[in-house]
Amino acid sequence: MLVYLLRRLAQSVFVLIAMMIVVFFGVYMIGNPVDILISPDATPAEIEETMARFGFDQPVYIQFLKFVGNALQGDLGRSFVHGEPAVQLILSYMPATLELAALGLLFSVAIGVPLGVYAGYKADRWQGRAIMTGSIFGFSLPNFWVGMLFILIFAVQLQWLPSTGRGDTVEVLGMRLSIFSSNGLQYMILPALTLALYKASLVTRLARAGTQEALTQDYVKFARAKGVSETRILFVHVLKNIMIPIITVLGLELGSMIAFAVVTETVFAWPGMGKLLIDSITTLDRPVIVAYLMLTVIIFIVINFTVDVIYTLLDPRVRVKGEAA
């Protein structure tokens, strides 16, 4: 178990290094930040001075080594625009994105699991088919379109929920969060639902496939032979078995949920990391872009790692094999 985790850790470090190279040179290629940093009527001496201050006059590899050196100390540069350290800037936007992703994840499980289990149970009936057809919409409708549709229906027409912004926040553990204030929660529902839709479809399909498979197993038949009710068979015997793959996939998807909240955040003007990224790209705020990409990679790695651990805890068979190893 420990050996396995250590090996995973080593892999992660390798991924991190590879990402540093890709991110740095990738971003280095796009545009010249000097154009934005320096006013067009600056004197050559001023330009020279600015270039030197940001280190742009150095050869690329020197810049890269400097970048790596600083990165190892947790310094990914200062935002050209905000003047703050990029990492700090992103971290200050992070809670908003995290809470949105968390609520989205919750929604996708709360919607997807019951629908999927039911669709698997009624696979050959119209109920099962209807749910599957519905999930195709969840897969194929673009995020921004769904977001705008939600705004149109629930905010503009019905006026049930606010459309944009973040609402009231409460300070929890030093982070400002909306999820714990009822007003803030109202602001979260539409963007979280939008974000959840794709994942909910995914969970529905996973749960359906798993349920269908599990229902053919002898242990289900044996549970029936014991006289256990169908509800209990579905939501204890089957669910406990299918949660393992669902949690794995969802855990992995949490990363992409955070990373790709970009569109949803933009549509709902949700002040999270995604919106910050879009803003930084338009202003060519290189350190922020680089820091965002690096942090995203780290988030992915941490999540994959956590999923592995949860997975071992969920499946008693893996757990024992691990202990024996």
Stretch that binds another protein, among 9-17, 107-115, 235-243, 247-255 (CB under 8 A): 235-243
Q: How many CA atoms lie within 13 A of 290 on its CB side?
A: 28
C-beta of 311: minimal distance to another protein in Å? Answer: 13
Q: Does 70 bind another protein (CB under 8 A)?
A: no
**Is position 217 an interface residue for another protein (rule: CB under 8 A)?**
yes
* Distance, C-alpha 228 to centroid of its chain: 39
Looking at the Cβ atoms of 237 and 275, the one nearer to another protein is 237
Q: Which is nearer to another protein, 100 or 242 (CB)?
A: 242
Annotate 148-167 with b (16+ C-beta within 10 A) or e (fewer): bebbeebbeeeeebbbeebe
Q: Which is nearer to another protein, 111 or 242 (CB)?
A: 242
Q: Closer to another protein at the Cβ: 173 or 225?
A: 225
Minimum distance from residue 2 beta carbon to another protein (Å): 22
Helix axis angle, 286-314 relative to 273-282, nearest 10°?
150
**Which are the contacts of 283, defined by CB distance < 8 A and separation ≥ 6?**
36, 80, 81
Residue 168 DSSP SS3: coil
Long-range Cβ contacts of 140-144 (<8 Å, 24+ apart): 141/197, 143/194, 143/195, 143/197, 143/198, 143/263, 143/264, 143/267, 144/263, 144/264, 144/266, 144/267
Among 228, 247, 249, 252, binds another protein (CB under 8 A): 228
7 binds another protein (CB under 8 A): no
| Site membership for another protein, residue 313 (CB under 8 A) | no
Smallest gap from residue 306 Cβ to another protein (A): 20
Pick from 268, 306, 295: nearest CA to 104: 268
Measured from the CB of residue 202, what is the shortest distance to another protein in angstroms?
22
Calpha distance 293→86 (Å, rounded): 11
Return d(Cα 41, Cα 51) in angstroms, integer.
Answer: 15
Out of 3, 225, 324, 325, the residue judged to bind another protein by CB under 8 A: 225
> In the stretch 169-208, what mask flags binding to another protein with x, by CB under 8 A?
----------------------------------------
Among 73, 316, 324, 325, binds another protein (CB under 8 A): 316
Shorter beta-carbon distance to another protein: residue 83 or 316:
316
Counting contacts by CB under 8 A, is residue 226 touching another protein? yes
| DSSP bridge partners of 170 | 177
H or E element that contains 172: strand 170-172
Let me know: does 223 contact 237? Beta carbons within 8 Å.
yes
In whole angstroms, give the CA distance from residue 308 to residue 2.
12
Q: Contacting another protein (CB under 8 A), which of 50, 305, 315, 322?
A: 315
Cβ closer to another protein: 63 or 241?
241
Residues 239-258 binding another protein (CB under 8 A) are 240-241, 244
Q: Does 237 bind another protein (CB under 8 A)?
A: yes
Work out how close the CB of 314 gets to another protein at its nearest, in angstroms, rounded to a whole number: 8
Which of 48-56, 77-85, 89-97, 236-244 is the region at the interface with another protein (rule: CB under 8 A)?
A: 236-244
Beta carbon nearer to another protein, 174 or 316: 316
Query: What is the nearest approach in angstroms of another protein to the Cβ of residue 206?
Result: 17
> How many residues touch another protein (CB under 8 A)?
23
Query: Could you please report the per-residue DSSP string of 54-112?
Result: HTTTS-HHHHHHHHHHHHHTT---B-TTT-SBHHHHHHHHHHHHHHHHHHHHHHHHHHH
Number of H helices, E strands in the chain: 15, 2
The residues of the shown chain that bind another protein, judged by CB under 8 A, are: 216-219, 221-229, 232, 236-237, 240-241, 244, 315-317, 320
